[in-house]
Structure 1
Amino acid sequence: MTLTAPAAVADNARPYLHGTETTALAAALASGQYNHSGVTDEFEQRVAAFLGVPDVVAVASGTTALHLALLAAGIGPGHEVIVPSFTFCATVQAIVATGAEPRFVEVALNTGCVEAGEVLNALRPATRAVLPVLYGGRAVDLSAAHAALDERGITVVEDAAHAFGSHHGSRLVGATGDLTCFSFGPIKNLTCGLGGAVVPRTPQEATACRRLRDLGIAESAATRARTTTYTVERLGLRAQMSGLNAAIGLAQLDHFARTRTARRALWHAYATALEGIEGVELVDVDPDRSVPHLCAVRVLTDRDRVFHALRERGIGVGTHYPPNHRQPAFSTWYRPLPLTDRLGARIMTLPFHQHLTADDVEHVTARLRQALR
């Protein structure tokens, strides 16, 4: 075991490129089409085919995907959206951006994901949507709540930022019938450099998302180029995915089977190396059905001391995530969430990206064992 930390373990996460992205990006640059282009259209079609769904709407980021999906579902002022506090703040910001209010709920300690019973207990007359977060890539099963949600006309909008390629039963996340949002940011399972996507439930939702991402304009850019006018039908944002980002995503998609295998193997390597280490518990991301996005543990005593000890030794640990019901920006919607507080005080993520080797995993876990002592 080396005393000096390997370079790869200094990063909690790092983009992984397969080598074809540079050629794809150069071709997109040479085309001169740097906004939404035919390459973006091809990316949408390829992702839809991968998921086995009729349509996918590519947008500028995962946060934008959540925002547009909520708007397309009719969420706005006077509505409440049930959401776990244990998530990245972007999830909550997307709700607030619509004018709706977040209703924070607990998650299970062993998974970091919300469960159906918690959703049912949180329902109120103003509830119009539920926004489960697929933490670490794990699919969330709300089937026990679907009848009640359907009866009340409540929409499920999945934050699947961590879960591209994961399965929910026999179907891929995104193909389960819910309004699903992906992120293709720098360190996601599939990266476009920056980007996201919405999987709409109906053609009407697809049209709404496309108009929302394109400043509310009814006509496509190609159509507008052939006419002397256009029609602005509704509120809209400039939220397209550029052809440059889509080109990177297409190159990544060609190698996704390799990504899936590598990320599952890495998670299992950590699970094996962590066996017998007292004082930490591994968060279960259901790795055989997911494409793991991270490796999170609960440090049972003095997480902050362990965190800083590892950082001082060159180990890129993180804390994903500080609970949002404690954040000043969301204090209006604070409610007591003791389980989330406990999880937030214990959570720590280990370096997790495809540049890591089995030796790197052994180095990280050996340092963790030392820090716990």
Structure 2
Amino acid sequence: MIRTAPPGVAHNARPYLYGGEESALTAALRAGQYNHSEVTEEFEQRVAAFLDVPDVVAVSSGTAALHVALLAAGVGPGHDVLVPSFTFCATVQAILATGARPRFIEVDPVTACTEPAQILAALTPATRAVVPVLYGGRAVDLTSARPALDERGVAVVEDAAQAFGSLQGERRVGATGVVTCFSFGPIKNLTCGLGGAVVPRTPLEADTCRRLRGLGIVESAAHRAEATTYTVGEFGMRVQMSPLNAAVGLVQLQHFTEAETRRRELWRAYAAALDGIDGLSLVNPDVDRTVPSMFSVRVLHGHRDRVFRALRDRGIGVGVHYPPNHTQPAFSEWHRSLPVIELLGREIMTLPFHQHLTPADADHAAQEVRRVLAGVSR
């Protein structure tokens, strides 16, 4: 097995810490409140201020954020939820957790994101929500579809797991008037270790999300500490964000400008190094407006699997994000013919992308791609 790569490019993705996370985590541990505390609430307030939104509800994961947001939007048994098949399976599992049915839809082959026309064409009388997936961090603008969706009572719940910090127009994703769900998992633009958040539309929706994440209990944790009873008003789950995770996220948020800069620089370094390679096309994240979470390419002419194996053998940590969900056994009941996504599923490949990498590392990985593609083309 050939190992010519710098150590960093052996990893497709890695968490990046700035140095203050350990002391923040230690302080949260010593405080002794591990389920919910003022640290979690401070994280919510800081994220809301960063996004310029009234409120943010922190939860235990991006999957939990989607589940809570869909329930808060009234999604349940008997409903259809439109969702691109080209996403991580967690998006679909969150829909199923509500009792609703996923209705898989296509994406644009250049951006790997769904478009308004695709959503409008897939509406059914049972459609209650649409979950656009912001693939690679790219914002999805559904402005032209919103009048028709609003008329039908269809909620938009953004899966922005990969898009924290990205822009739609002049505003951050999350501040554009729809329910937005973020992930703060290990390899995201901002990590809490594990975590997620919902950006609600209204104070009522925020209250609903907080009850759903906290076992349906009406009163706040601070109120319960001073009372002899509490009220369980509705269904709920235990998916709060721990202060331990929030402490890590607060440090990460202080350094987010650095994350934006370095991730855009790395994406542009890859794009320059890969320019002009035959048999390869880039998935366009609109990097000027996006804080990219990955670097995705399409390997053309049926060569993806050979190129993937050859690069792994050379120590380049390539990945596949993602196999189409409508072809998965767990979701076979909702299979539809989606030729664009099926082709993407055969061609997509992600190159190593994380903040430990330098532009020189990106250039090395790109040159290995160039060599491997030249070999398989012969």
Same fold (TM over 0.5): yes
Q: Which amino acid aligns with 1:355?
A: H
Alignment-derived partner of residue 306 in structure 2: 305
Q: Distance in 2 between matches of 1:310 and 1:279?
A: 15
User: In structure 2, the residue corresponding to 1:268 is in which secondary structure?
Assistant: helix
Partner of 1:56: 56
CA–CA separation in structure 1 for the residues paired with 2:126 and 2:3: 57
Distance in 2, matches of 1:112 and 1:276, equals 21
Distance (Å, rounded) in 1 between the aligned partners of 2:201 and 2:233: 21
Counterpart position of 1:112: 112
Q: Deviations over 1:135-171 (max 9, x none)?
A: 0000001111111001111100000000000000011
Aligned residue runs from structure 1 range 314-333, under 5 A = 314-333=315-334
Q: Name the counterpart of 1:26.
A: 26
* Cα distance in 2 between the residues matched to 1:59 and 1:300: 39
- Partners of 1:129 and 1:116 in 2: CA distance: 14
Residue identity in the other structure for 1:338: P
The alignment yields a C-alpha RMSD, in angstroms, of 0.9
Give me the whole-angstrom Cα distance separating, in 2, the residues matched to 1:244 and 1:3.
38
Counterpart residue type for residue 36 of structure 1: H
Change (3 A) 1:62 1:3: closer
Tell me what 2:222 maps to: 222
Deviations 1:297-343 (A, max 9, x none): 00002100000000011100000000000000000000000010001
- Deviation of the 1:61 alpha carbon: 0.1
Q: Structure 2 vs 1, CA of residues 3 and 309 (structure 1 numbering), >3 Å: closer, same or farther?
A: closer
Identity across matched positions, percent: 70
- 1:45-96, CA deviations, whole angstroms, 9 ceiling, x for partnerless residues? 0000000000000000000000000000000000000000000000000000
Aligned counterparts of 2:316 and 2:110: Cα–Cα separation in 1? 24
Matched with 1:362 is 363
**What residue in structure 1 maps to residue 241 of structure 2?**
241
Secondary structure in 1 matching 2:78: coil
Q: 2 CA distance for matches of 1:143 and 1:51?
A: 19
- The residue that corresponds to 1:257 in the other structure is 257
Alpha-carbon displacement from aligned partner over 1:20-42 (angstroms, at most 9, x marks no partner): 11111111111111111110000
Q: How many angstroms apart in 1 are the aligned matches of 2:3 and 2:97? A: 48
Which residue number in structure 2 is paired with residue 342 of structure 1? 343
Partners of 2:3 and 2:313 within 8 A in 1: no
Match of 2:86 in 1: 86
Q: Is the 8 Å Cα contact of residues 65 and 182 (structure 2) preserved in structure 1?
A: yes
**Structure 2 CA distance for partners of 1:3 and 1:228, relative to 1, 3 Å:** closer
Shift of 1:4: 2.0
SS at match of 2:29: helix
| Other-structure match for 1:38 | 38
1:96 alignment partner, SS class? helix
- 1-side partners of 2:230 and 2:358: how far apart? 54
2:259 & 2:340 partners in 1: Cα distance? 33
> Is residue 267 of structure 2 the alignment partner of residue 267 of structure 1?
yes
Q: 5+ unaligned residues in a row in structure 1: which ranges?
A: none
- In the alignment, the residues of structure 1 paired with residue 178 and residue 266 of structure 2 have an alpha-carbon distance, to the nearest angstrom, of 29
Task: Give yes or no for contact 2:324–2:342 (8 Å, CA) kept in 1.
Answer: yes
TM-score w.r.t. length of structure 2: 0.98
In the alignment, structure 2 segments of 5+ residues that lack a partner are none
Q: 2: CA distance between counterparts of 1:189 and 1:141?
A: 21
Displacement of 1:128: 0.6
Query: Matched residues in 1 for 2:17 and 2:351: separation?
Result: 21
Counterpart position of 1:296: 296
CA distance in 2, matches of 1:211, 1:154: 23
Q: State the one-letter code of the partner of 2:319.
A: G
Distance 1:272 1:369 in 2: 13
In structure 1, what is the Cα distance between the partners aligned to 2:32 and 2:255?
26
CA contact (8 A) 2:3 2:314 kept: no
The one-letter amino acid paired with 2:36 is H
Conserved? CA contact 2:184–2:195, under 8 Å:
yes
Aligned to 1:131: 131
Partner AA of 1:360 in structure 2? D
> Offset of 1:103 from its aligned partner?
0.5
Alpha-carbon distance between aligned partners in 2 of 1:234 and 1:306, rounded to the nearest angstrom: 52
Which amino acid letter does the alignment assign opposite residue 121 of structure 2? Answer: N
Residue 297 of structure 2 aligns to a residue whose secondary structure is strand
Partner SS state of residue 104, structure 2: strand
Q: Which amino acid counterpart does residue 39 of structure 1 have in structure 2?
A: V
The Cα shift of 1:3 comes to 7.0
